[in-house]
Amino acid sequence: MGSTMLTEDQKRTIFEQVIGNNRFLGSEHYQNLLTYLFNASLKNETPKEINIATEVFNRKSDFNPNEDPIVRVYINKLRKKLADYYAKEGRSDKYRIAIPKGHYQLVFNIRKRTLLGQGFKNQPTLQKGLFISNAVLLILVVGLSILVFSIKENKEWGPVWNEFFENDLNTLLVVENPFFFQMDFEGWNRSLIIRHTWINSIRDLQEYLIEQDQTEREYEILKFPYITQNAVWPMPYILSVLQPRSKDIRIKTTNQIVPQDLKQYNIIYLGSLKSLGKLEHFLEGTSFSVDFHPNRFIQKIENEERIFRPDGSFSQYHVDYSLVMKRPGPAHNVIMMFIDFHSTGNTGTAKFFSDREKLDMVEEKFGSAFGHMPPYFEMLLKVEGLERINLSTEISYMNKLEFPQNPE
C-alpha cells in the first residue's frame, strides 16, 4: 500500500508521530523543513529547491543553488534523521515517511515485511575463526600470554593502572559474549542457531519478532558462550600489565556477570559496543554513547555532536576505533572499559596501554592539559589495520572524568 491509499488524516497522524520525536523537536530548521514538505505532499506538489530556500530558509529571490547548497545539505541530513528514527523508535511503524533521492517530494511508504532469517545471507551463524569456545579461549590466552610475558618486564605502570594494584579487590576480566538464539524452522526438521547483528539482547529479539509478526515463534537463548576475537587478541596485553602484581584475575563473559560482581571486583571489559549488556550504563557521566544501527560512537560536548564509526573492509585495510574509559565503580572499586567495533581496535589499544613509553606520553598529555594525570578519564583511539594486523594507533580524543568521591 503506497501513500496514494492513505487519507489526509492518516498521513497527518504519521507525520505528527515523526515530528514529535525528540530528534526533530530540538531543531526548528528540521521541523520547518519537514512541515513544509508534508504540506506540499498533501497538495501533491513537488517543491523546487528555490522555493524551499526562500520559504523555509529565508533566502532572497536571487538565490543561486550553485553557490549556496543549504537546501541539499538539510535535505540529506533530514533523510538521515528519518532513517535513524525508523531504525530505532520507529522501527515498528507500519507506514514510513521518505524523501526519495533526486527530488524533494515527501512520500509515505508501507514498511516492507521480511521473513525471520532473511538478511542472514553471507553471515554464517558460526563463522569459522570468529567465535571461540571457552576451552579454546583459555588455551589461546595462556599461549599468547606466555609470548607477551616473555618480552615484558615487571615494571611500575603508573597512575593509569595503579588502582588495580593498590586496593584490596581482585580483578574481573569481562569479555564480550555475542547474543545467539536458537529457533525451530518448519519444514527443515531442525533448529538453527542464529546470530543477528541487530539483536543483542532478549529485548531486541522480542522487538524484532513483533516487527516481523513472528511473536508465536518459539525460541531459546543459547546456553553456552562464544568469545570473539575482540576479546581474545587484546587479552594477553592486558594480562601482561595485571600479572604478576594483581592478587587474582578471573574471567567471565558479559552474560555471566551478576550485580554482585560489580561490587566485589575491579572490572575490566574487553569487547565490542554490541555486547556491553549490563555494563552500558557505566558510560553515563562520559561524553560518549553508543549506537548499533549503524554501529557508531556518538560524542556530545555542549551543543556539538561528533560521530565516529569504522571505515573500510575488515578483511582489508580499515579504520577502527576503541573507546577507553576509566571510572569509579559502585563500591570503592575501579572500572575500565575497552570498547571497539572490530578486534583491530581493542588489539591496537591494549598494546598501546601495555607500553610504558606510550603511557608516559598519555600522562604527559594529560599533565599539559590539566596539570596532573586524572584518576578517571575517557580516551578515543583511532586504530588502522590490514587483515587483522594493527598498523598504527593514535589518540583522537582525551579528557578527564569527574565523579563524586567514594561513590555508593
Q: Provide the pLDDT for residue 152.
A: 47
Q: Provide the pLDDT for residue 117.
A: 44
Q: Provide the pLDDT for residue 408.
A: 45
Q: Provide the pLDDT for residue 125.
A: 40
Give the range among 26-35, 97-106, 145-154 with minimum mean pLDDT.
145-154
More confident residue, 157 or 293: 157
In the numeric block, the cell 582525551 is attached to 398
Q: Provide the pLDDT for residue 387.
A: 67
What's the pLDDT tens digit per position in 328-382? 998 889 999 999 988 889 999 999 999 999 999 999 999 999 999 999 999 999 9
Give the range among 61-65, 368-372, 401-405 with minimum mean pLDDT.
401-405
What's the pLDDT tens digit per position in 46-55? 899 999 999 9
pLDDT band at 187 (very low <50, low <70, confident <90, very high): low
**Cell matching residue 334:** 575501579
The amino acid at 78: L
CA distances (Å), origin 392, targets 230, 273, 277, 283: 17, 21, 29, 26
Strands 311-312 and 249-253, bridge-based pairing = unpaired
Per-chain mean pLDDT for the chain: 81
More confident residue, 20 or 336: 336
Mean pLDDT along residues 197-216: 73
pLDDT band at 307 (very low <50, low <70, confident <90, very high): very high
Whether 108 contacts 97, CB under 8 Å? yes
Q: Provide the pLDDT for residue 384.
A: 92
Is residue 74 predicted with pLDDT exceeding 50?
yes
Query: Could you state, in order of their start, the residue ranges of all structural domains in the chain?
Result: 3-110, 131-178+226-400
Give the CA count within 13 Å in the CB-facing half-sphere of 28. Answer: 2
Q: Provide the pLDDT for residue 123.
A: 38
Q: Is 231 left (phi over 0), alpha (psi -120 to 50) or beta?
A: alpha
Supply the DSSP string of 120-187, one letter for each residue: -TT--TT-TTTEE-HHHHHHHHHHHHHHHHTT-------TTTTHHHHSS-EEEEEE-----EEEEETT
Question: What is the spatial distance between Cα 156 and Cα 162, in angstroms, rounded to a whole number?
Answer: 8
